[in-house]
Structure 1
Amino acid sequence: MKPRLLPALRSPWPLWQEALAGLALGGLHAQAFAPAVLWWLQLACVAGLAWRCAQLANRRAAAVLGWSFGTGWLVGGVWWLFISMHTYGHLPAWLAALAVLLLAGFLALYLAAALALFVRLRSGRPWRDAALFAALWLLAELARGLIFTGFPWVAAGYAHTEGPLQWLAPWVGVYGMGAAAAWLSVLFATPGWRGRSAVAGVLGVLALLPVVPFTQPTGTLSLSLIQGNVPQDEKFSADHLPDTLVWHGRTLLAARGDLVVGPETVIPLLPDQLPPDYWEMLVQHFQRGGTAALLGVPLGSFQAGYTNSAVGLSRDNPSATEVYRYDKHHLVPFGEFIPFGFRWFVDLMQMPLGDFNRGILNAPSFTVKGERVAPNICYEDLFGEELAARFVDAARAPTVFANLSNIAWFGESVAVDQHLQISRLRALEFQVPMIRATNTGATVVIDRTGRVTHALPPHTRGVLEAQVQGASGVTPYAWWAGRLALWPLAALAAAVVAWAWRAGRRAPGAP
């Protein structure tokens, strides 16, 4: 007799116990991500979720299990949002905590719907059900990463920046890795030895396979990456701003090498708001010397609107008004634009927030000694499918990514380690190095294999002197995601779900 993953038993647990089990398992799942990358724990937690699902015949119970697992996962992964809203936004603690819980609970609805549909369509055949579970898991993660501009933080694939599944990154990206992990987890939860033997075999083969090199090394740049470590409550303060400008100005002028990079809003004022000659001094310094600079700075005017931007300064700039400019494309809800109907919530917080203009998707790179340095600002590096658009024209494709961030909003929390983990996976997907210049951390150099080669301790002030070797080429993920975004993954998952539904309709005794 074939083992049946899903025997369609009635759950002996009341719904509140189902919810507690899901919360506990989801909270444990959140620990699989940074600072410790525990890929095996991620697989084990999803296997536990699949095993518990095997006991359920009720779609309502499955939805409760999925919702509670997702809520525990997200609260455990993004609890640091509380710091930005309470410590710096001055929301009452209870309201900030409620906001985090409501966000996690809302995003967990996608997983709740996925598990409910899984219980409805499962066949009891382990291999078919594993494919169905992986497809629904993938659709739930895609929904979280895309709908309402997306919030894919701690997506399942990020737990596999290390371990056997990182081999898949340049082929299918973070969402494909998460789906593969879900498939393996369900097979492991199947009673009997066949499924577990298959999982062990797949993981063993992937661990032994060499990573295919789709990109080739290009030139080497010497770097100075600035980390000012300015507390968020001092960044825009009139009492501290002069000292901040003086330190960053002196540090920028003293930097040597090929490229100096300052973090997001390293210059926190518009150029015409700066002290007399400050901006012109920086522009002229980098126009005359052999060092180029990439600096985070707000740009715009009241009439034209404002942008969160990066400005490139080098000898190629003919004047202070004709410089390289990158405007952030993927804006942060509530931080850089206010979603419809939420003005009241933003008004409760004492933060310098507003509506910014959006930059173009396929922005050109900043050329430094033949290397094409492609900026991305803050959490733009969560959206690999958007970075992939820059690889459609291979001749203009980035050879180095540069992430400029300021996550001082979240204090000395795990958000720093999680953001580093995200950047490492982008390097694995594109096999292109990522340099990170941040206000409080993590200021690092990541090579094209996802390995951190140079790093500054977080939450310290300093300059990271390092080197980075560029890489030229296009991975399979960069090729298809650049042209089709995430639609191939969504279409494949939908096709598997449709196949499972049709197979269930044809089965004997099907309604």
Structure 2
Amino acid sequence: MLSKTTWFPALLLAGLGALNTLAFAPFTYHMLPLLTLSVLAWYLLQAQNPKQAALFGYAYGLGWFGVGISWVHVSIATFGGMPLIASLAIMAVLVAYLALFPALAIWFSWRFRGNFWYPLLLASSWFIAENIRSWFLTGFPWLSVGYSQTDGWMAPWAPVVGETGISFLMLLIAGSVAVAVQRKLWVWPAIAAIVLIVSPALDTIKGWQETGEQVKVALVQGNIAQDLRWDPEQEAITMRKYMELSRPHLNADIMIWPEAAIPQLEPLALAYLFNLDMLAAENNTAVVTGILDYKENGDAYNGMIVLGKSGKEATGGDYRYSTSNRYRKHHLLPVGEFVPFQDVLKYVAPLFNLPMSSFSRGDWLQPNLQANGYSLLAALCFEIAFPRQMIANFNDNTDFLLTVSNDAWFGDSIGPHQHLEIARMRALELGRPLLRATNNGITATVAADGKELNRLPQFEEGVLTGDVALVQGRTLYSIWSDWPVLILSLFSVGFLSLRRYQLAKQAK
């Protein structure tokens, strides 16, 4: 049975973890995680053993993810074909799994609670645990604490160390506050204060500048109900709607349609595509659209293609079914786009037997899309949450970041707001404007500094138009990625673990 010194802090930390949700979109309490993490770091110092410390971290994680990603339940319950109790059980398993990562970081850090370097060890352990979360079992890096700073005080750090580096700094600050309260040790709080004080000054080294060129864009939001998207009787209606919405805006330099906007497999939609290709070329524009492709060998891809002009000098439409000017999604969504352990799990419930849940994976490295002379770094839906994939495909010639999505799966929840916030962080990290086209919202344009330029209302059809400024140059983060913080974290954990082992051996 848990004692009061265990269950009370655990309940408190679960509540504080839940409060973290208010730090992310659509809410605005950006500095809240610094408070909740500081309390967690302090309770770590009070823990009597590593098991209790891990429990504190796990409780914090349960609150953090249990409330923060509660929107996942919407898609499971509404479109998964499962009874309520089963969908809640799946949600509970997901939250219980994600909570393991903060528990792991806290469990490891407890061993260094008396060490002068405790704040650095806490930040390093957290950084490593979050990196594991971002790739293990394909990865789910959603709601990492650094995203709370997209509009926060520490946002200027993003072009230097990225969102993951901001998370590291936030844990460093939290650990510094804890040792100041516990031991009256002021060296680390002084370092934490410097981190916060210099944040505004980092705007001067963002690494990019505007070229003076403005690009006219048009982003189409069809607002097709999820239960109608793949209804064969709705195919012609949907395709006609996108064409009609687009015609008045063919004067744009680039037009973007959302993920799988065309509800036919690419080989079956060729007549429609060639017509759109010719129409776009005649109007000196390019249309980038999401579409599903199915090959004769059985490979299926969720991808994007470019219709109309690929280059400024093109005299006609450049689309061919064999074209390489396309993007194929690499980071597939578990269950939604592929079923892990398919032979076992597909019989559990209709959720694991959904149509279009057996996609093939595109390459890790793919050329930027070429649309009317502009280079677009593409990411489909969930992929925008993986900064290293974006950096791997980023180059000096990249003009825009492009992400298309269908967030109709998540209804009127906080999920789409968090999704846009993640996309905005990528723009801030890489110093490039971002175009985001979705089926039913949130469709938006974002400047190279991560600031939202404009958006369409959710759950309404429409076309978002506007001029977006091009930039040139590279942010430091686009050059060195996570490597500096990763090396520091691994060195800190490795060196201090070795030192602890040596001291323990000498004491015997």
Scaled by the length of structure 1, the TM-score of the pair is 0.90
Secondary structure of the equivalent of 2:366? coil
In structure 1, what is the Cα distance between the partners aligned to 2:101 and 2:335? 22
Aligned to 2:281: 287
Secondary structure of the equivalent of 2:111? helix
Q: Spell out the pairing of 1:443-482 with structure 2 (5 A cutoff).
A: 443-481=443-481
Of 381-390 and 30-39, the range deviating more from structure 2 = 30-39
1:336 is matched by which residue type in structure 2?
E
In structure 2, what is the Cα distance between the partners aligned to 1:261 and 1:293? 6
Q: Spell out the pairing of 1:33-432 with structure 2 (5 A cutoff).
A: 33-125=24-116, 128-189=117-178, 190-191=180-181, 192=184, 194=186, 195-196=188-189, 198-218=191-211, 219-256=213-250, 257-274=252-269, 277-315=271-309, 316=314, 317-323=317-323, 324-340=325-341, 341-345=344-348, 347-348=350-351, 351-391=354-394, 393-394=395-396, 397-432=397-432
Taking a change above 3 Å as real, the CA distance of residues 170 and 32 of structure 1, as seen in their structure-2 partners, is same
Q: How many residues of Structure 1 are paired with residues of Structure 2 in the alignment?
A: 491
In structure 1, what is the Cα distance between the partners aligned to 2:295 and 2:128? 41
Note if contact 2:345-2:352 (Cα within 8 Å) is conserved in structure 1.
no
In structure 1, what is the Cα distance between the partners aligned to 2:349 and 2:151? 38
1:436 is matched by which residue type in structure 2?
R
In structure 1, what is the Cα distance between the partners aligned to 2:123 and 2:373? 43
Note if contact 1:57-1:119 (Cα within 8 Å) is conserved in structure 2.
no
Secondary structure of the equivalent of 1:436? strand
Taking a change above 3 Å as real, the CA distance of residues 369 and 304 of structure 1, as seen in their structure-2 partners, is same
Of 281-290 and 149-158, the range deviating more from structure 2 = 281-290
Taking a change above 3 Å as real, the CA distance of residues 122 and 196 of structure 1, as seen in their structure-2 partners, is closer
Question: 1:287 deviation in Å?
Answer: 2.9
Taking a change above 3 Å as real, the CA distance of residues 460 and 352 of structure 1, as seen in their structure-2 partners, is same
Deviation sequence 1:137-174 (CA, Å, 0-9, x none): 11111111111111000011101112232121112111
1:271 is matched by which residue type in structure 2?
E
Q: Spell out the pairing of 1:16-35 with structure 2 (5 A cutoff).
A: 16-35=7-26
In structure 2, what is the Cα distance between the partners aligned to 1:91 and 1:355? 20
1:145 is matched by which residue type in structure 2?
S
Question: 1:489 deviation in Å?
Answer: 3.6
Question: 1:196 deviation in Å?
Answer: 4.5
Note if contact 1:424-1:434 (Cα within 8 Å) is conserved in structure 2.
yes
Aligned to 1:440: 440
Aligned to 1:491: 487
Taking a change above 3 Å as real, the CA distance of residues 204 and 214 of structure 1, as seen in their structure-2 partners, is same
Note if contact 2:81-2:349 (Cα within 8 Å) is conserved in structure 1.
no
RMSD: 2.2
Note if contact 1:88-1:350 (Cα within 8 Å) is conserved in structure 2.
no
Structure 1: runs of 5 or more not aligned: 1-10
In structure 2, what is the Cα distance between the partners aligned to 1:68 and 1:90? 30
In structure 2, what is the Cα distance between the partners aligned to 1:363 and 1:346? 35
Taking a change above 3 Å as real, the CA distance of residues 345 and 472 of structure 1, as seen in their structure-2 partners, is farther
1:496 is matched by which residue type in structure 2?
S
Taking a change above 3 Å as real, the CA distance of residues 468 and 330 of structure 1, as seen in their structure-2 partners, is same
Deviation sequence 1:331-364 (CA, Å, 0-9, x none): 1111111112433346445632321111122221
Scaled by the length of structure 2, the TM-score of the pair is 0.91
In structure 2, what is the Cα distance between the partners aligned to 1:41 and 1:34? 13
Note if contact 1:399-1:471 (Cα within 8 Å) is conserved in structure 2.
yes
2:470 is matched by which residue type in structure 1?
G
Question: 1:115 deviation in Å?
Answer: 1.1
Secondary structure of the equivalent of 2:333? coil
Note if contact 1:71-1:101 (Cα within 8 Å) is conserved in structure 2.
no
Question: 1:208 deviation in Å?
Answer: 4.4
Taking a change above 3 Å as real, the CA distance of residues 441 and 510 of structure 1, as seen in their structure-2 partners, is farther
In structure 1, what is the Cα distance between the partners aligned to 2:319 and 2:273? 12
In structure 2, what is the Cα distance between the partners aligned to 1:199 and 1:491? 20
Structure 2: runs of 5 or more not aligned: none
In structure 1, what is the Cα distance between the partners aligned to 2:308 and 2:339? 35
In structure 2, what is the Cα distance between the partners aligned to 1:487 and 1:214? 18
In structure 2, what is the Cα distance between the partners aligned to 1:227 and 1:267? 12
Of 328-337 and 17-26, the range deviating more from structure 2 = 17-26
In structure 2, what is the Cα distance between the partners aligned to 1:408 and 1:510? 61
Deviation sequence 1:231-279 (CA, Å, 0-9, x none): 21121123443322221122233322111100001102113434x8323
2:289 is matched by which residue type in structure 1?
L
Note if contact 1:37-1:161 (Cα within 8 Å) is conserved in structure 2.
no
In structure 2, what is the Cα distance between the partners aligned to 1:171 and 1:187? 22
Question: 1:510 deviation in Å?
Answer: 4.9
Of 494-503 and 128-137, the range deviating more from structure 2 = 494-503
In structure 2, what is the Cα distance between the partners aligned to 1:120 and 1:353? 47
Deviation sequence 1:299-333 (CA, Å, 0-9, x none): 12353411001010123444543542111111111
